Amino acid sequence: MPFLDLPAILSAGGTVRLPGSKSLSNRILLLAALAEGETEVRDLLKSDDTDRMLEALAQLGIRVTPAGEGAITVHGCGGKIPVKEAQLFLGNAGTAFRPLTAALALAGGAYHLSGVPRMHERPIGDLVDALRHLGADIACLANEGYPPLQIRPAALNATAATVPVKGNVSSQFLTGLLMALPLLDRTVTVEVVGELISKPYIEITLATMRRFGVDVAREGWQKFTVQAGSRYKSPGVIYVEGDASSASYFLGLGAIAGGPVRVEGVGADSVQGDIRFADALAAMGARITMGPNWIEAAPPLNGSLKGIEQDCLAIPDAAMTLVPVAVFAKGPTKLTGIASWRVKETDRIDAMANELRKLGGTVETTTDTLTVYPPANLDELHCAEIETYDDHRIAMCFSLMTLATPLRILDPGCTAKTFPDYFERFAEVTTAVPVIAIDGPSASGKGTVTQRVAEALGWHYLDSGALYRLTALAARKAGVDWHDEAAVAHIAAHLPVHFAGGLTFLGDEAVDDQMRTEEMGIGASTVGALPAVREALLLRQRAFRQAPGLVADGRDMGSVVFPDATTKVFLTASAAVRAERRYKQLMEKGFSAKLQDILQDLEDRDARDAARSVAPLRQEADAKLLETSHLTIVQAVNQVLDWSGNKAS
């Protein structure tokens, strides 16, 4: 599975222009298609969900043409869908699937609607029941109440003046029904059965319908009436607001990571209910300011955010971002009214809880609540792989956790559903923990220099060679051949290593002397040439990137492990000088050795490391060469510090 490793960050600040709202984009596309006249749509979201809607409209005979940069023209059909028979694949796009189901059920055609396996697990029965009440002919082809669906032409019930629809599972059912009713050309009242969740999304629907000339009368949140004679008419030009749900990640980031962070494209004048996420941040103590088309978030002036109890019925999507934010607050945060999370792209309650626990977080859940208990110290959190469940919001939510730890996002491309370039935009407003990467051949002195630079700066230290030596040592102890790639990679992935008190431990055993032998040096070079082993150790190495900074040594630190390192150094010395240094080290430790044998071994190892297909030893184009044959350790350390622009603490 593809992955993206996110470094730990120090802070965040800046401005982000938001992509268009997914909810608004697909509502506008469908209403523009059903309207009389041509509608120019500007700032439309480009994403998987809108792509599925546009593909469906094209199959239905709706013409869409370019209208300049970032704009399209939708040529409306005046309520008469041209194509009367089609098979539509709608992926996992609920904002396309539900409204199209309602519109096509009243269009007098034969349509097959399907999606990805998860879409076939998302309930649609309440909408189907409401449409059947109107006389629609809809068959659930696999499980009753779930897609895929087969819609057939039907004699619609001309006497049905009211239609009931449940409101406690998804607001998209009511949205789809309301948007389709003008196609009937008669007065119909929708009665909501039970509590209506996600009311702000219904407000978006009503506001969008008004823009296209249909005003829905309502009695509270229980009755909605579409009058006979209602017709969608093009507003001419319509702009899509920035996505308020997407704004939540950057506002949350501003509240926990120094800030301020400003989002543009959504603000006080927005029709989207998810801007109320800013109110939840304010209740936690964040400083929130906003204008008509922007919102800005920053941490409290004094102290930390505080945990709250938040009813999330009004902000079901944006509320997910409160989970990572709550980790950085004082006291628990309880989110209530989130039962709808369980029928989204995945079961979001369980998914958010499972992934936060992987990082060391403490969370409790019920059928419709989630409570986060922040750690006493952020050092209790640790690096892990985050499963995203093909859910864009999980991927984006957990990016905020990089304020505490590096992490790996599996399947990062899932953000294409609403925010295709999210991680690039995230990187633009965050400052990653700095890295000084020092690469070079064996016995060049890079380990000593790296360790002393780290000590001088008060930064973390990574001896990547130790991880490869430990892998070779652990394989030898387990009786595994160094050339058995799969077995060695498994050992590397589960290596019980930790560094403490200047010692290196494999499990509970200090193994510094064992791993520093010439045999383990050869073993490190051998297992380090195996692609699966390097892959297994990649995240483990990146996990050392913690605030305030990291100094790392190895043979591919600047090329593979930390290609974005702020300073890259290639430290070397002649083979003869390196052999002499290694010989002296061994003599001082009481080991017997022959200088000529050491020299031959180093030359052989240099040749192997330079010739290997995976991460060969070489100086990167952006790395500075540091030849230490005639330098003291102090001189080499000072040169690295000078190049890095950092001062010793």
Quote the CA–CA distance of 61 and 241 in Å, as a whole number.
27
H runs (alpha helix) in 38-160: 48-59, 94-105, 125-133
| 317 catalytic residue (yes or no) | yes
Contact between residue 73 and residue 115 where contact means Cβ atoms under 8 Å apart: no
- Give the tokens for residue 110: 């034969």
- Choose among 552, 562, 539, 565: nearest CA to 615: 562
Q: Are 317 and 245 in contact (CB under 8 A)?
A: yes
What's the token pair of residue 480?
């595994």
Nearest CA-CA partner of 601 in 545, 525, 533, 511: 525
Beta bridge pairs of residue 193: 166
Q: What residues form DSSP beta bridges with 364?
A: 371
Hunting for tokens 């009440």 — which residue is that? 133
8 Å CB contact between 593 and 587: yes
Give, for 522, the enclosing helix (H) or strand (E): helix 518-528
**Among 317, 411, 463, 601, which one carries the catalytic annotation?**
317
Contact predicate 332/372, CB 8 Å = yes
SS3 category, 62: coil
DSSP 8-state symbol, 556: S
Please name the residue that has the structure tokens 């390196």: 578
From edge to edge, which strands make up the β-sheet containing 309-311? Answer: 309-311, 333-336, 370-373, 362-365
Q: Phi and psi (nearest 5°) for 538?
A: -60, -55
**What phi, psi does 524 have (nearest 5°)?**
-60, -45
Would you give the distance in Å from CA 178 to the centre of its chain?
A: 33
Three-point CA angle 613, 618, 621, nearest 5°: 120
3-state secondary structure of 315: coil
The count of residues in the chain is 649
Q: Which of 459, 548, 440, 383 is nearest to 3 (CA)?
A: 383
Where b means 16+ CB within 10 Å and e means fewer, 37-63 reads ebbbbebbbebbbbbbbbebbeebebe
Backbone angles phi, psi at 200, to 5 degrees: -60, -30
Please compute Rg for the chain using Cα positions: 30
Nearest to 208 by CA among 176, 185, 184: 176
Contact between residue 40 and residue 75 where contact means Cβ atoms under 8 Å apart: no
Alpha carbon distance 14, 3 (integer Å): 26
In the sheet that holds 624-627, the strands lie side by side as: 460-463, 550-554, 435-439, 567-572, 624-627
Nearest-angstrom CA–CA distance, 60 and 73: 16
Catalytic annotation, residues = 317
